[in-house]
Amino acid sequence: MHTERPAPVASPIPEMHVLWITAGLSCDGDTISITAATQPSLEDLVLGGIPGIPKVHFLNPVLAYENGDEFMRFMHLAAADELGPFLLVIEGSIPNENNKPEGYWAALGRGEDGQPVTTCHWIDRLAPHAWAVVTAGTCSAYGGIHAMAGNSTGCMGLPDYLGWDWRSKAGIPIVCVPGCPVHPDNFMEVLLYLLRMAAGTAPMIPLDEMLRPTWLFGATVHEGCDRAGYYEQADFTQEYGSPKCIVKLGCWGPVVQCNVGKRGWMNGIGGCPNVGGVCIGCTMPGFPDKFMPFMNEPPGAKLSTNAVSMYGRTVRALRRFTRDSLNREPERS
């Protein structure tokens, strides 16, 4: 647990740049995802709709008004430590640029020599000056899909690249917000928490051993799932379209740390198991290799469902008996 240090802010920070790199190995899905956030929304932050936090300058190459050299100017200022306090957000897996004799895997902009500047080079220059560093999505947190066994890029998550004990200039560990894509409200809530830290009104962000915010990833999908009651009474479906528990269809919800079942996806609505989609473990460091093949009953599910079956049958029988007695008007004299 990374909760032992006090908040590092001595005085409030009036303005904060959010410098977002999408040039890892990525599909930009995390950037698209946050546009659906409502608690808070991206507009709430950039338009000053939330009191008591620094003024936010949001610089994401997909969403920014600036482009080309105008956008890259902020990158160069930050790399020279001349931008002022900034949050560095990384989206996409970090490639290994040392595993080949020539060429590059990922880059952003061009240097004075006209050659592409690798994403790794930008991280090397920017991370030491960042007030805090955040990963957006599982790719930048733990490698994700691009780091599957057999990939040629040798890519990895940011903690593997910078080091799991890395700290920002403000003493803050890397903050990992996994998901494929990242949950919109989860990410924006973390961003808001860090801005409150910068304002001096929040303690050090609590993280688990995998650097995930504890209040978001402390429980399993199952613990917040609409279908959990069916699991308890061993009522499992074998086909899609049923409201019953879908663990036998391949759902990893009982073990995966994620809050989407309880939070929904947008405005509290949706979320993988809530709409009939099995959990495939996309917030976990072992995703995707350890969760494949998808749509197959997880190895531990056979044992757990067999163990709960006798209890479930008993529960269903007791509920029927009690309901039958309660589903009648009381006898009156």
Helix, strand, coil tally for the chain in percent (to 5) = 35, 15, 50
pLDDT of residue 10: 55
pLDDT digits over 190-212, tens only?
Answer: 999 999 999 999 999 999 999 99
pLDDT-derived band at 318, boundaries 50, 70, 90? confident
* Mean pLDDT score, 213-242: 92
Judge contact between 95 and 158, C-beta under 8 A: no
Judge contact between 59 and 88, C-beta under 8 A: no
Residues 200 and 226 in one domain: no
Residues 233 and 109 in one domain: no
Q: What percent of the chain has pLDDT over 90?
A: 80
pLDDT digits over 109-139, tens only?
Answer: 999 899 999 999 999 999 999 999 999 999 9
CA–CA dist 33, 52 (Å, integer): 26
pLDDT of residue 1: 56
Q: Report whether pLDDT(2) > 80.
A: no
Q: Report whether pLDDT(150) > 50.
A: yes
In three-state form (DSSP H/G/I as H, E/B as E, the rest C), the secondary structure along 146-186 is HHCCCCCCCCECHHHHHCCCCECCCCCECEEECECCECHHH
- Domain containing 275 equals 222-317
pLDDT of residue 229: 86
pLDDT-derived band at 5, boundaries 50, 70, 90? low
Judge contact between 266 and 41, C-beta under 8 A: no
Q: Report whether pLDDT(316) > 80.
A: no
CA-only gyration radius of the chain, Å: 23
Strands 107-110 and 132-136: unpaired
Domain boundary among 215, 232, 251: 215
Residues 150 and 294 in one domain: no
Residues 166 and 206 in one domain: yes
- Domain count of the chain? 2
CA–CA dist 216, 121 (Å, integer): 31
CATH number for the domain that contains residue 307 = 4.10.480.10
pLDDT-derived band at 9, boundaries 50, 70, 90? very low
Residues 130 and 43 in one domain: yes
pLDDT digits over 67-88, tens only?
Answer: 899 999 999 999 999 999 999 9
Judge contact between 156 and 94, C-beta under 8 A: yes
pLDDT of residue 177: 98
* 206 found inside a domain: yes
* 323 found inside a domain: no
Q: Report whether pLDDT(187) > 80.
A: yes
Residues 39 and 161 in one domain: yes
* pTM, two decimal places: 0.90
pLDDT of residue 322: 84
CA–CA dist 122, 71 (Å, integer): 14
Q: Residue 139: what are its φ and ψ, rounded to 5°?
A: -60, -50
Nearest to 135 by CA among 165, 173, 82: 173
Ramachandran area for residue 239 (φ above 0: left; ψ -120 to 50: alpha; else beta): beta
Average pLDDT over the chain reads 92
Domain boundary among 165, 196, 215: 215
CA–CA dist 183, 227 (Å, integer): 20
Strands 116-118 and 132-136: unpaired
Which residues, at least 6 apart from 198, have a Cβ–Cβ distance to it below 8 Å?
9, 12, 13, 16, 53, 54, 85, 131
Least confident of 166-170, 195-199, 327-331: 327-331
pLDDT digits over 262-308, tens only?
Answer: 999 999 999 999 999 999 999 999 999 999 999 888 887 776 777 77
